[in-house]
Structure 1
Amino acid sequence: MKIFKFGGASVKDAAGIKNVLKVLKTVGYEEVMLVISAMGKTTNALEVVIKNYFEKSNELYASLQDIRKYHNQILLDLFDDEEHEVFFDVNTHFDDLEYFVRSNKSPNYPFVYDQIISIGEMVSTTIVSHYLNAAGITNQWLDVRNYIKTDANYRDANVNWEYTQKLISKINRKKSLFITQGFIGADENNFTTTLGREGSDYTAAIFAYCLGAESVTIWKDVPGVLNADPRYFENAVLLNQISYKEAIELAFYGASVIHPKTLQPLQKKEIPLYVKSFINPTLPGTKVSTGVDLEPKTSCFIVKKNQILVSLSSIDFSFIMEENISEIFALFHKHKIKVSLIQNTAISFSVCIEDTFDKFKDLKTILSKKFKVSYNENVSLYTIRHFDAISAEVIEKDKTILVKQISRETLQIVTQ
């Protein structure tokens, strides 16, 4: 079996969904599982719904209605018959969501987030499944929550691999084509959980691992993995081959093409990962597998925007030692704050962090009781893998450098 993952950009409108059909007809769909994300910017729109649920209840139903209208227009563009059952199925998903926001009693933000945000994937896969069936490509729609089981760590759930393996192994593989949702799972009480933003890649890897798949292909609007994000860097180069080790390094530093969690299960079974263009599906793209680390061998540039540089210093000028650092990292872990860079001196400790869950304000209050806290918001973290003098000069030019750190293979710079 092969696993194909299509992200939100590939199914953002009717033309995108029609193109998925074209891709499948071009590359084949025998023994294939499609893992599909929410359409376009639906996840962002649902985050507005969540914000309104907690803060602006008078705007809640208007924001829900906007998402309904967006998907209904896609349905009208794809299906001539408004009596087609897809309209009923999609409306049922939205009716379930509206019932949840009316009846929910839990004040737990991460829990509410996961119950609401997951509607995007449920609707997108329903639409794609019906469209492919109507086009003559028979498929089986699967609710991923019946297969990927997790703990109750909402918004960043951990997979129960043993139970998930048991459930996925029961899938009737005699069916030719399957369609399921990325990004989501369910806990032991069957409440919806999510695997972290961009977690659809991870979903594809989970199924690949449990099914012993031949390969995973991530279909994107770029020709493959580039050595730099073309939005920020000119003359980006296509990487033909990346080893698992190098890909994990790039993902760790923030390369957005491959989700950090995706690679570990694939590496364990040496399942190759391809990143290909849904615009030109016959192009070879990038292969991530065993083999050479990088081909061609070149510097790789990664930039993470909207970071926070935090510097902690001891109030009494005492050394910041292992005990202090251990306490600080325990707080980072508790507040789900990702640390991307560390630098320390005798009496100060600096970190570049990513405040994905808006917890820094609470953390700063706690840290201020023991340390002098200073910080810079909206900084950028640049990372160069396999750097040289020329690539370093490209990054440093015309920037205010707050922190610079060099190791054998990697240069990192925090700029204002």
Structure 2
Amino acid sequence: MRVFKFGGASIKDANGVRNVYDVLQKVGYDDVLIIVSAMGKTTNAIEVVIKDYFDQAKSLQASVQEVKKYHYEIIMDLFDTENHPVFKQVNHLFGELDHFLNHNKSPNYSFVYDQMVSYGELLSSTILSHYFTSQNIQNNWIDVRNFIKTDSNYRDASVNWEVTQKNISNGIQKKVLNITQGFIGSDENNFTTTLGREGSDYSAAIFAYCLNAESVTIWKDVPGVMNADPRYFENATLLNHISYREAIELAFYGATVIHPKTLQPLQRKEIPLLVKSFINPVLPGTTVSKGADLEPLLPCFIVKRDQLLLSLSSIDFSFIMEENISEIFKLLHEFKMKVSLIQNSAISFSVCIEDKYGNFDALKAILSKKFKVSYNENVSLYTIRHFDEKAKTEIEKNKSVLLKQISRETLQLVTKEMNS
């Protein structure tokens, strides 16, 4: 079997849904399982509903209505008549969502989040399935919650591989087109769970692993994986091939290529991952598989903006030893700081961190009791894999380099724009 994953951008409107049909016409759909994300920005819209549910009860009905309106406009564009069965099915899903909003007793934000946000994928997969049927593509809609079983760590659930493998091996009809949801699963009490960041890609990898699939294809609005983000770098070049190891390295340094969580099950069974364009589906795209690290072998540029460079030194000029470093990392973990780079000398210790949750002031207050603290805000962290002198010069141009770290394959620079 082949596993296809279509993200929200590919099905953001009625024309997007029609385009997915066109993609299948061009690349075939025999023995295919499709994983879909929520349509467009639906997840964000449902997050507004959840926020209103907890904090802004007066706005709740309006934010729910936004989600409904968006989906009804798409199905009215796709289907000729309001008597089409898709309307009944979508009404039923919205009825379930309304029922949850009216009857839920749990104050647990993460639990509520998972029960509600999952409707994005349930709606998109239902609409896609009905559209394919209307175009004479026989398909089998399946509820992923009956297949991917997890623990109850809501918003970042861990997969129970043994039960999931059994469910998928015994329950998937391999000779028809199957359509299911990405990002979601369920726990042993059949409450909905979600799989965390890049959850839909991970869902595709889970099914591929359990089905011993021929390949996984992630369909995007770009030709494949580039050696740099075209938004920040000129002359970005398509990478034809990336090894599993290199893709994991790039992801570790912050590239939004593919999450390591997605790659790990595929690597174990050496299942190739293809990143292809839903705009030009016949183009080869990028293959992530066993083999050469990169083809072509080019410097790969990654930038993380809005970082914070924190430097600590001992007040009495004593060495910063393992005990101090252990204590610092415990605090970084406690205050949810994402660490991207570490550098230390005998009496100083520097980290480039991301203060995603706005906890830096509280962290600084504690660290100041024991260390001399200095820091730079709004810095950028550049990472160049397979760097050369030209790439290094290009990145350093018009920037003040605050910290530099070089290993055999990788150059990292913490920089501040000269004029900022």
Give the TM-score band, short-chain normalised. Answer: over 0.9
Q: Deviations over 1:159-180 (max 9, x none)?
A: 2212211111112324411111
Structure 1 match to 2:272: 272
8 Å contact kept, 2:313–2:320: yes
SS class of match (2:111)? helix
* Structure 1 position 375, deviation (Å): 4.7
Amino acid at match of 2:389: A
SS class of match (1:196)? coil
Structure 1 match to 2:178: 178
What aligned pairs does 1:10-409 form with structure 2 within 5 A after superposition? 10-314=10-314, 318-333=318-333, 337-356=337-356, 371=371, 375-409=375-409
8 Å contact kept, 1:140–1:175: no
Amino acid at match of 2:281: P
Q: Deviations over 1:175-216 (max 9, x none)?
A: 411111111222222222222222211111111111100000
SS class of match (1:4)? strand
SS class of match (2:288)? strand
C-alpha spacing 1:110/1:396, structure 2 compared with 1 (3 Å): farther
C-alpha spacing 1:100/1:237, structure 2 compared with 1 (3 Å): same
* Structure 1 position 116, deviation (Å): 2.3
Distance in 1 of aligned mates of 2:356 and 2:100 = 25
Gaps of 5+ in 2: none
* Structure 1 position 305, deviation (Å): 2.9
Provide the TM-score with structure 2 as the length reference: 0.92
Q: Deviations over 1:302-326 (max 9, x none)?
A: 1223334344445565433222322
Amino acid at match of 1:239: L
Amino acid at match of 1:407: S
Report % sequence identity. 71
Distance in 1 of aligned mates of 2:95 and 2:62 = 14
Distance in 2 of aligned mates of 1:369 and 1:190 = 48
Distance in 2 of aligned mates of 1:266 and 1:107 = 37
Q: Deviations over 1:76-102 (max 9, x none)?
A: 111111122212222222232233233
Amino acid at match of 2:261: K
Please say which of residues 319-328 and 128-137 is displaced more in the overlay: 319-328
Indicate the structure (1 or 2) with the bigger Cα radius of gyration: 2
* Structure 1 position 363, deviation (Å): 5.3
Please say which of residues 236-245 and 252-261 is displaced more in the overlay: 252-261
Distance in 2 of aligned mates of 1:92 and 1:357 = 37
C-alpha spacing 1:255/1:94, structure 2 compared with 1 (3 Å): same
8 Å contact kept, 1:216–1:271: yes
8 Å contact kept, 2:150–2:160: yes
8 Å contact kept, 2:247–2:257: no
Amino acid at match of 1:411: L
Please say which of residues 38-47 and 359-368 is displaced more in the overlay: 359-368
* Structure 1 position 332, deviation (Å): 4.1
Provide the TM-score with structure 1 as the length reference: 0.93
Distance in 1 of aligned mates of 2:188 and 2:370 = 39
C-alpha spacing 1:350/1:8, structure 2 compared with 1 (3 Å): same
SS class of match (2:123)? helix
SS class of match (1:169)? helix
Amino acid at match of 1:140: N
Number of matched residues?
416
